[in-house]
Amino acid sequence: MSKSTSKTTGLHPDSLLAHAGGGFDQATGAVVPPIQTATTFVRDEDYEPIGPGYIYSRDDNALYKKVEKLIADLEGGEDSRLFASGMAAVAAVARLVKPGGTILAQSGIYWGTTLFLRKYCARNNIALVEVDVSDFKAFHDEFSVTQPNLVWLEVPSNPFLKVADIQRISDLCKSAETLLTVDATAATPLILKPLSLGADLVMHSATKALNGHSDLLGGVVTTGDIDSEAWTFISEERHDAGAVLGSFEAWLLLRGLRTLALRVERMNKNALTLAKHLDAHPKVKAVLYPGLESHAQHQLAKAQMTGGYGSLMSILVNGGKDAALKVTGALDIFQRATSLGGTESLIEHRQTIEGEASGIPGDLLRLSIGIEHVDDLIGDLDQALSTL
């Protein structure tokens, strides 16, 4: 029998995740990796590193490598790079576009990304075009005119839960040598694999479901082609610009990932049950969730995603902004907080956070569904909606 403890080919994602970072340590037998906190590593008398590859921790780190390999495997990609936050990962990708270039970004996405791209492009003489990519014709027309260097999608989008056709858009991008990046944070690699649909890069805020416990900031970018120019740039950018993850965060992320498959399964199931319940609720005007048949891109979501539709949804309540705020105030189990993908369910009145200029309607509430018992979540929302 082979002594190798890292024989992972052919395993299901659930199994890869359950053993995340594992393969016991030959020296101690430990089933989880240690946290290496050293920032610098000594050399021997001949000035060779004592541990090959161990020089300085901004270069690399044994824990990053474990997490990066795992995420690359989940995505069906060739390699990943961890970043200090999701936004650091977004910024590294955006910097691929040089002054004079053009970025075509999906409109109505994560507000932090939109704001960053607007400021970054304005400061660097890069044209930024924002378009509703769930409307393929609108996207195609805009693409033909602008000939962008980079297309930025978010699937599903936050907070409107729109679903772009990654395969069709990637065909278009390939014909024009445009780089396609998909932020798939709200989906997780377990239910959406943008690289297999033709994207060049996939990005996640690891702060969200990948870690899943609302206790670290992190980001990750994965490539389908380690020999590409884009990947050389991103690897160098992580090293040279230095937006690296801390050792403790890398370790926590690995620990969080061990339960990703279980968490995603429960969260997706809870979300679909809740979406159906709220869709039939008299106080709810609309539910935005790709798992509902009433969703404009439901068929596309069904074809693109496997095993669920994610744990993010938005609802529009009857009675406008005041009613929406009243509902949030009456909730007991849902926590009033930003972010998503954690074990605990969260609710957010996005317009209060982002302002009216963001275009987010006052009656919209964004829900991140956790792993609680679904009857408790339904009960909490029902009693809060009954105050209207």
Ligand X SMILES: *Cc1c(COP(=O)(O)O)cnc(C)c1O
Nearer to ligand X, 13 or 112 (CB): 112
Q: Which residue has the tokens 């991140």?
A: 368
Helix (H, G, I), strand (E, B) or coil at 185: coil
186 binds ligand X (CB under 6 A): yes
> φ, ψ for residue 225 (rounded to 5)?
-150, 100
Q: How far is the CB of 55 from ligand X (least distance, A)?
A: 28
350 is catalytic: no
Nearer to ligand X, 208 or 283 (CB): 208
Nearer to ligand X, 336 or 373 (CB): 336
The runs of H, that is alpha helices, within the chain are 13-18, 62-75, 86-94, 111-123, 136-146, 166-175, 229-241, 247-257, 260-279, 298-304, 320-330, 350-354, 374-385
Nearer to ligand X, 130 or 279 (CB): 130
Q: How far is the CB of 84 from ligand X (least distance, A)?
A: 8
What are the DSSP calls for 28-50, one per residue?
T--SSPPP---SB--B-TTS-BS
Residues in the chain: 388
Q: How far is the CB of 129 from ligand X (least distance, A)?
A: 19
Nearer to ligand X, 87 or 202 (CB): 87
Binding string, 191-220, against ligand X, x = CB under 6 A? --------------x-xx--------x-x-
Spatial separation of the C-alpha atoms in residues 175 and 33, rounded to whole Å = 44
Q: How far apart are the first and last CA of the chain?
A: 66
85 binds ligand X (CB under 6 A): yes
Specify the stretch interacting with ligand X by CB under 6 A; choose among 7-15, 135-143, 183-191, 374-382: 183-191
110 binds ligand X (CB under 6 A): yes
Position with the least CB separation from ligand X: 86
Among residues 79, 142, 183, 237, the one that binds ligand X under rule CB under 6 A: 183
Among residues 154, 165, 348, 354, the one that binds ligand X under rule CB under 6 A: 154
Specify the stretch interacting with ligand X by CB under 6 A; choose among 15-23, 29-37, 43-51, 182-190: 182-190
143 binds ligand X (CB under 6 A): no
Site for ligand X in 215-244 (CB under 6 A): 217, 219
- Closest by CA to 344, choosing from 353, 325, 326, 331, is 331
Please say whether the beta carbons of 58 and 242 come within 8 A. yes
By CB neighbour count within 10 A (0-12 exposed, 13-18 middle, 19+ buried), where does 39 fall? exposed
Specify the stretch interacting with ligand X by CB under 6 A; choose among 80-88, 166-174, 229-237, 289-297: 80-88
- Considering 66, 81, 162, 208, which one is annotated as catalytic? 208
Report in angstroms the alpha-carbon separations of 280 from 79, 272, 348, 374: 44, 13, 21, 16
Nearer to ligand X, 73 or 183 (CB): 183
208 is catalytic: yes
156 binds ligand X (CB under 6 A): no
Please list the helix, strand and coil fractions of the chain in percent, rounded to the nearest 5, in that order.
40, 15, 45
Spatial separation of the C-alpha atoms in residues 258 and 124, rounded to whole Å = 41
- Considering 79, 165, 183, 380, which one is annotated as catalytic? 183
Active-site residue list: 58, 110, 183, 208
Return residues touching ligand X (CB under 6 A).
Answer: 85-87, 110, 112-113, 154, 158, 183, 185-186, 205, 207-208, 217, 219, 340
